[in-house]
Homo-oligomer: A and B are copies of this chain.
Amino acid sequence: MINHEKPQEDDKHLAAWRAFITAHALIIERIDHDLAQAKKIPLHWYDVLIELYEAPEKRLRLHEIAQRVVLSRSGLTRLVDRLEQSGYLQRQSDPDDRRGYYAVITAEGVQALREAWQVYGKGVQQYFAAHLSAEQSDQLVALFSGMVAQLRDQAG
């Protein structure tokens, strides 16, 4: 039991937690399945490419990507290998710090991102957004941003 003074409240929180992780698992599974069906890039590739696409100069250092997509450094090295082999990004050595590399998204990468979004965006709309009003979305952003801020502060 989390809180012995307010067990009913804890029950509600626990129910919310369970609904949260179940919904997440099912939606992600479905969207990834939809992407595979449509022969588009998988969700993890999308996550990396969208970070690059939205970065100031369409590029990021490898360790920055790893942090943003919640992946180990070594895992990211191999993911970047696959993305580079597929032509969706290029490694670019950093002249100011020769230990490190940038990953830069290519035109093919941008194209892959667009095509995947046709499927991904439809999934987000259909499985997630369709259940939400604009006001509810604002509330969710506030709620989840608070959680994210707490976790990124503590030991991010």
- A121 at the A/B interface (Cβ < 8 Å)? yes
Check A24 against B20 for contact (C-beta < 8 Å): yes
Copies of this protein chain in the complex: 2
Q: Is the interface of A mostly helix, strand, loop or mixed?
A: helix
- A66 at the A/B interface (Cβ < 8 Å)? no
Check B2 against A144 for contact (C-beta < 8 Å): no
Contact of A143 with B136 at beta-carbon distance under 8 Å, contacts A19-B148, A24-B21 already known: yes
Check B140 against A19 for contact (C-beta < 8 Å): yes
Report how many residues on chain A are interfacial, defined by Cβ distance under 8 Å. Answer: 50
Contact of A132 with B13 at beta-carbon distance under 8 Å, contacts A26-B148, A148-B19 already known: yes
Q: A58–B108 Cα gap in the complex (Å)?
A: 52
